[in-house]
Amino acid sequence: MKNRNTEHGVPLMFLLSSLLETLLKHREISINELSRITGISRETILELCSSIPGIRVVDNNDRVVVEAPIEAAIYGIRRGVYYKRIVPYLDWHDFELFSKEILSGHGYIVRNNFRLTRPVRLEIDVVGIDVGARRCIIIDCKHWTRGVSPSALKEIASKHKARALRLADHIMWAISKWKFFKYTKTMIPLVITLTRPKIRAYDDVVIMSIYELNNFLKDIHMVIDYLGVQPIKVKKYTP
């Protein structure tokens, strides 16, 4: 970025907010149209886009494509963009794909939208299996547009814990749907949102923002020990 903090007296942080909001809404847009909507010059758009992860300028600098919406959103939030300006333009699919990318980067085999219809019905947004550690991470992605009270977080965590227990009790049925469940000896349920939650764990469920997931996976044993979270043991394990 050049050594300037404004364009026509408008702070770059506000320009970034307007730019991200428009990009996440349209996902692909010409730079001329983007400039018309936001009032930001072409030069500044190119400067800003060059620093935002998940954003790519294509067609000889004529169009902008959002390739990784969550990465772009996290970048903006960390630089002061108010999250409520961004969240309405994200969806469940964005959260799931970003979670999948992070888990895969740590060597997990990942599946999105796992469903079991018998002998019980359950659906899990993201499942990650660490074959070597025989660990299963199950993620419930929450697309919240505003803060959630601690009591609501606890209720959500308890429901996710119940979902994890049903999966553990019917692991053989799960294996018949996805063979990698056979490597599961323990499960850790996570509830993930875009913003930092008010409580960090409840009922052996970890609650975190999506931009904490990478560090959580790096130090998983230390984190669950600190939070007092006990992984769920899978009794019907098939080596």
Architecture of domain 7-89: Orthogonal Bundle (1.10)
Read off the pTM: 0.77
Q: How far is CA 154 from the centre of its chain?
A: 20
180-194 confidence digits (pLDDT tens): 999 999 999 999 987
Cα–Cα distance between 135 and 129 in angstroms, integer? 6
**Given a cut of 50, is residue 3 above it in pLDDT?**
no
The pLDDT value given to residue 90: 85
Cα–Cα distance between 177 and 167 in angstroms, integer? 12
Q: Which CATH class is domain 92-233?
A: alpha beta
9-61 confidence digits (pLDDT tens): 557 778 899 999 999 999 999 999 999 999 999 999 999 999 999 999 999 99
Cα–Cα distance between 212 and 201 in angstroms, integer? 14
**Beta strand residue intervals within the chain, DSSP E:** 6-7, 10-11, 28-30, 55-58, 63-66, 109-116, 122-130, 135-141, 186-193, 201-202, 205-209, 232-233
Q: How far is CA 192 from the centre of its chain?
A: 7
Mean pLDDT of the residues in the chain: 89
What lies within 8 Å, CB to CB, of 87 at 6+ separation is: 73, 143, 144, 145, 194
86-104 confidence digits (pLDDT tens): 878 888 788 888 888 899 9
Average pLDDT value for residue range 65-86 = 87
What does the longest C-alpha to C-alpha distance in the chain come to? 65
Cis bond upstream, residue 197 (ω within 30): no
As a residue count, the chain comes to 239
Candidates 125, 105, 53; CA nearest to 217 is 105
Domain ranges across the chain: 7-89, 92-233
